[in-house]
Amino acid sequence: MKTYTQKASELHHDWFVVDATDVPLGRLASHVAQLIRGKHKPTFTPHMDGGDFVIVLNASKVRLTGRKISQKTYFKHTGYMGHDTHTVAADMLAKHPDRVIEKAVFGMLPKNSLAKQKLRTKLKVYAGAEHPHEAQQPKPFTVEYKVAS
């Protein structure tokens, strides 16, 4: 048996559209990260950019379970001493709902330069239901999750 390594000429990128309405943030981020990396393909190669493009719609309607909406904070540092800011998830969802999903997906990608490149080019997040990528004819993708009862 030989290990298969995908060549650059064999790369094929599809487009998927995901609706984030009432989907838990972690479930959504893990599915989107797998699509961006290309782990759902049998030709997955870790050092190649063989993943697909993902469009996330209705980012403002994503669900945070438990008390995360009031307790989860996002950290940012300006570079000056003592100038760190902590933003609560409710404020971040109100002002920049796309960043909430981008940060969650980035946390589930490997920490290397290829991950930053994939996140920058392959993930498109929109707060509403409209997107300008109709020409790519994206396929719908549903995130499977169980509702806690």
Does the predicted model carry a pTM greater than 0.85? Answer: yes
Residue type at position 118:
K
Instruction: Report whether 48 contacts 9 (CB < 8 A).
Output: no
Rounded to a whole number of angstroms, the CA Rg of the chain reads 17
Q: Which two tokens stand for residue 140?
A: 């719908």
pLDDT, one tens digit per residue, over 18-63 is 999 999 999 999 999 999 999 999 999 888 899 999 999 999 999 9
pLDDT, position 149: 63
Distance CA 40, CA 58 (A): 24
- Residues sharing a CB contact under 8 Å with residue 47, sequence separation 6 or more, in sequence order: 114
Structural domains of the chain sorted by starting position, each given as residue range(s) with its CATH number in brackets: 14-141 (3.90.1180.10)
Enumerate the β-bridge partners of residue 53: 15
Instruction: Report whether 23 contacts 143 (CB < 8 A).
Output: yes
What confidence category does residue 4 fall into, taking pLDDT thresholds of 50, 70 and 90? confident
